[in-house]
Every structure is written in structure tokens, then in C-alpha cells.
Chains A and B, each alone.
Chain A
């Protein structure tokens, strides 16, 4: 009666809607080389970005666990993001994650975005963008990747950096009238919230 198992078979490698073939990458370390293949790919992708933006980006930190570069001129982050998404050899169409981070020693807060060219080129790269702790601004990339919309709200909610150009920058996990930014290292929880004692 039901042959959904057969009908849903995944025979073809063609992607409907994308019309592109998947490149299958085993993701294993190559013998005798210092860096793995995925890091090499990240480095190649970084090179393209670096050629275009020059000093706006830092050198690549080609570590094994998460190769990343930093956007030094945070104002150009939006352009870099668009370039990363649309360049034919970059095609970072998938923002896996965006994490806010607090750097109290530098007096900065920042975001770390993990990108991948999902189902297209398959390379990965992480980007860091930092801004001042007090009143710092980072251009919003929620128009580039929809994923960034809620992640930026979350980063704003928990770290307090602003995202210029975000369609509705308001708190997402904490209540709208919460005080302070909970994930900052020097965060002190407020005494009372609507008459309720907060620290238990």
C-alpha cells in the first residue's frame, strides 16, 4: 500500500531547486601534511576575500579546529558578507552559527560567525567582528543571511552590541525590560524584576 520508502529514495545526486551537484568531501586528515584539507580550503577562500578587501581583514588564523579571520574595519563587514555570499568561488550561503563573545581585556565585544558553502563548495570559514563594549556598532548582516536575524538579536540581548540596519533589534530571550547584558563577564544580576527577587 505504501511505498514511501522506495519513493523517497535518494538515488540522484542532483539537488532539486539548486541544480548543482554535491561535492563529497571525506573530511579526513591527509597523511604527511601539516594542515588538513578543510583548513587548506578555508585558506584558499580567505585568500579571495583578502585580495578584495586588503587591510580591512586580518590574517587568517589557520588553526585546526576553527580557521578564522577578523574583520578589522567593522564598517566593511556588510560588504564582506555580501562578497562572501555571492562570489562564485566563495558561495558561503549558509551561516551555521553566530556567537557573541565578550572580550573584557580589550574592552570589546564581538561576534563570531561560522560559515559554510552548504551543498555547493563545502568549505568552511569563521569570521570575527568586534566593536567597542560601550555603544559599539556592528553592521547587521540579517539581509545577507536570514539566520543572522535572530542570532543578532540574541547577541544584542546577551552582550549589548548594536547591529546597525537590523530590522527589529530587540531582546529575544530575556524580557524586553531586563536590565544589563547577561553574558558579559562583569554582569551583575539586577536585584528585583517587577518586584520579584532575582538572585535566589
Chain B
């Protein structure tokens, strides 16, 4: 006689009457539901797929599935010359192409041991900081959308549009620039460029405050992000987090300051970390605030660069570009602070070829996203959305 039989997760008690099994008692069977969030979903920021095991609204496990945007970046790199990789790097993190190019150029220049003209360095910093602001604007705007606030998104895009216009003016392209080349730039910036950048800074400062009043000043926004997805500092480091994510966890770590490159040592800016007064250190709100305040720091950097930049007289942006790029045999791991964290390039050269033997992009989003499984445990679906948004992934960089 069967007394108890497990069916699914509910239990059924049966008894035998004459020769039939009769169900005497039945618990409510609850089953976990598999919910495929993505690859087509409004708030996975591209083609990320999260396989969620849900118990009602509670996520018991969310497993990220990647690769929908895998374009064999690293294989492509092994088949083209060093300068030809630059356009590919744009397509890694397509929201901050300048920064990706900058990181790649730095890596190859380190391998080549090149001396870069000062004006080139300053222009690189200006355009990459502009791009950092544009990228943070997208991050903040889409984060607003994730939480249901539509208007900040359009305010962000309105201002980002101006930056894209400026960068288009300099490079000829709106997102995939191919502007920062190994050893130099594709061309000098247009004559009035720096003046326009200054005008943009004057325009953008009040707009940034307005944006923050709309988001951080909103009780609902704070309620939705405060204390959600907390990542302690040591775990964040162990996960390899970098950039605003790591700073959001309270670790004062910025490669521009702690492993400086280009002209950053000469510039005065703050490394932004939350102090726990407005947010719980390491939660979604902290990460959002870090991005918001970092835009202001980027504006400061740009202003200083405009003040310090050498004049364009007799300037040739391509003067230091080697005729033929064939680094001596060796390896390099070089990284730069991207809007989303540390973008590193591991490049191995055999000294004979004009193509790298191995070129690996250490993508910040890929590493940041790997913590998703831990972060999402026991969260509600809306919180999961808030957490993904705060990680600020660009699938182009995750999947490469």
C-alpha cells in the first residue's frame, strides 16, 4: 500500500480501495517555471538570454546564455594587420568606440614602444572622455527605461546626440569611428572643434543636474534601486569587476589614476566612489550614482585638456604612425578605463608577421556579467531587470 508518493514538488497520499488507487489527500503542487528572458526582450540590452527558474515572481536562478552576437573578433584579428584591427575594436563596445580604439592603440604602442605627440594624446583623451559621457548617458537613460521612466531616456539621447554630432564632425562617423590609430589619429580635429566642445560642456552641466533630479530625486527610482543587488567589495574584486561597477562597490579603483596611461597623470579628477549616505554601498543605486557623477568628472577632464592642449600649428596627426607595423616578438597585456570598466588587450606578436599571433580582448561587460548568477538569486523579476540595467552591458563586448 502506497502511503505517500511524491509528484513534482507536491505530495499526494493515496490509499487502495478494492483494487483501485484513490487519492486521499493532495498538496498543492508547485513547480518552478523556466522563463526565457531574451534573446528578444526589451530590457536585456541586446541579445542576452537569461534562463530564469522562477517561483512565482521570485527568481531562484538566472543563468546567462551568451554568444548570440559572437562575431569571432579574436579570429578576425589573427587574420588582419595591426592597423586593420582598429575598426573591429569599435564594434566591441559600440557605445564607446573611441575608448575601445584608445585601449587597443595603447596596447600596440606599448608593444612598439612608440612616442606619441602630445596633441594627439590630448585629442585622444578629449574624444574618449566625450564618448564616456555619451556612453554613460545611454547607460543612465536605458536604466530609466528599465525602471519604467521613459522621459530621462529621451533627455539622455537628446544630449548624446550633440556628442555624437561632435564626434562625427571629428571622425566622420557617428558610432564606429576608426579615429584613433596606432601611433596617431586619422586626422586632426576640425578648427572650431574645441570651442564647440566647450559650448557643449556649458550646455550639458545644468542638463546633467536636471537629469539627476528626474531620476535620483525621484522617490520611486530610489525605492527601486536602493539596496538591490548588493555586491560587497571583496566579492566584486574576486569576480573581476572593474570600472563603475567596482567603484559602486566602494573600491576606489580607476585605471586612469591607478595604472595611468596617456596624459591622465597630469589631469585633476576625482575617482568617484559612493559613501553610503544616499545608497547602500554596492547596490544598484550606487552604481547608477557613480556613473552620474563620473560624467561631471569627465567634463572636468575635457576642460583641462582643452586648456592644456598644444596648438595645432604644424601639427600632423599621422607623424608618429609607423609605415609598417611589425612589433618585435613579445607579449603585452594593456588595459584602459572604459565606460564599462577595464578593457584589456592581450596581444602576442611573433616578430615576423604584421598580424598578431593572438589578440584577446578582455571585455569588462563579459566579466561583470559573470556575477549575474550570484546577483540574481532570490530576486524578484523587476529587481532582476534593475540589476541587469545597473550592470550596463553591451552585448557587442560580451560576445565579441
Direct contact between A and B judged by beta carbons closer than 8 A: yes
Please list the residues of chain A having a beta carbon within 8 angstroms of any beta carbon in chain B: 1-2, 4-5, 7-10, 13, 15-18, 22, 24-28, 63, 65-66, 68, 93-97, 99-102, 112, 114, 118-119, 122, 126, 145-147, 149-151, 154, 158, 171-175, 182-183
Cβ B331 vs Cβ A96 within 8 A: no
Partner of A146, one of B67, B110, B274, B371: B371
Partner of A158, one of B74, B111, B290, B366: B74
Partner of B259, one of A13, A27, A183: A27
Cβ contacts B240-268/A at 8 Å (1 or 0 each) = 10000000011111000011100001000
CA gap between A32 and B400 in the complex, in Å? 42
Q: How many residue pairs at the A-B interface have CB separations less than 8 Å?
A: 161
Q: Tell me how far the C-beta of A42 lies from the nearest C-beta in chain B, rounded to whole angstroms.
A: 12
Return the chain A residue nearest B360 by Cβ: A99
Q: With A17-B281, A97-B362 as given contacts, are A8 and B238 in contact (CB-CB < 8 Å)?
A: no
A-B contact sample (7 more), CB < 8 A, given A16-B276, A173-B66: A10-B273, A15-B252, A16-B233, A26-B265, A96-B342, A173-B67, A174-B67
CA gap between A182 and B67 in the complex, in Å? 14
Q: Tell me how far the C-beta of A174 lies from the nearest C-beta in chain B, rounded to whole angstroms.
A: 6
CA gap between A189 and B190 in the complex, in Å? 45
CA gap between A100 and B359 in the complex, in Å? 10
Cβ A65 vs Cβ B399 within 8 A: no
CA gap between A149 and B278 in the complex, in Å? 33
CA gap between A154 and B240 in the complex, in Å? 15
Q: Tell me how far the C-beta of A66 lies from the nearest C-beta in chain B, rounded to whole angstroms.
A: 5
Chain A residues, CB < 8 A from B362: 96-97, 99, 114
Partner of A173, one of B70, B78, B237, B344: B70
Chain B residues, CB < 8 A from A18: 233-234, 251
Cβ A26 vs Cβ B251 within 8 A: no
Would you give 20 A-B contacts (Cβ < 8 Å), ordered by A? Answer: A10-B270, A16-B281, A17-B281, A63-B331, A65-B334, A94-B238, A97-B346, A99-B358, A101-B358, A119-B251, A122-B258, A145-B240, A146-B235, A146-B238, A146-B371, A147-B367, A171-B67, A173-B399, A174-B70, A183-B78
Cβ A95 vs Cβ B240 within 8 A: yes
Partner of A114, one of B276, B290, B333: B333
Cβ B67 vs Cβ A8 within 8 A: no
For window 206-254 of B, CB contacts with A under 8 Å fall at 209, 212-213, 216-217, 232-235, 237-240, 249-253
Please list the residues of chain B having a beta carbon within 8 angstroms of any beta carbon in chain A: 66-67, 70, 72, 74-75, 78, 110-111, 209, 212-213, 216-217, 232-235, 237-240, 249-253, 258-260, 265, 270-278, 281-282, 289-290, 292-293, 296, 330-335, 342, 344, 346, 348, 357-358, 360, 362, 366-367, 370-371, 399-400
Q: Tell me how far the C-beta of B334 lies from the nearest C-beta in chain A, rounded to whole angstroms.
A: 8
Q: Tell me how far the C-beta of B319 lies from the nearest C-beta in chain A, rounded to whole angstroms.
A: 23
CA gap between A146 and B367 in the complex, in Å? 9
Cβ B239 vs Cβ A147 within 8 A: yes
Chain B residues, CB < 8 A from A171: 67
CA gap between A22 and B238 in the complex, in Å? 17
Most buried by A among B259, B333, B357: B333
Cβ B239 vs Cβ A146 within 8 A: yes
Cβ B366 vs Cβ A150 within 8 A: yes
Cβ B111 vs Cβ A65 within 8 A: yes
CA gap between A22 and B251 in the complex, in Å? 10
Cβ A4 vs Cβ B289 within 8 A: yes
Most buried by B among A28, A118, A174: A118
Chain B residues, CB < 8 A from A150: 366-367, 370
CA gap between A96 and B74 in the complex, in Å? 18
Chain B residues, CB < 8 A from A175: 67
Cβ A5 vs Cβ B333 within 8 A: no
Cβ A24 vs Cβ B240 within 8 A: no
Q: With A18-B251, A68-B331, A173-B66 as given contacts, are A114 and B344 in contact (CB-CB < 8 Å)?
A: yes
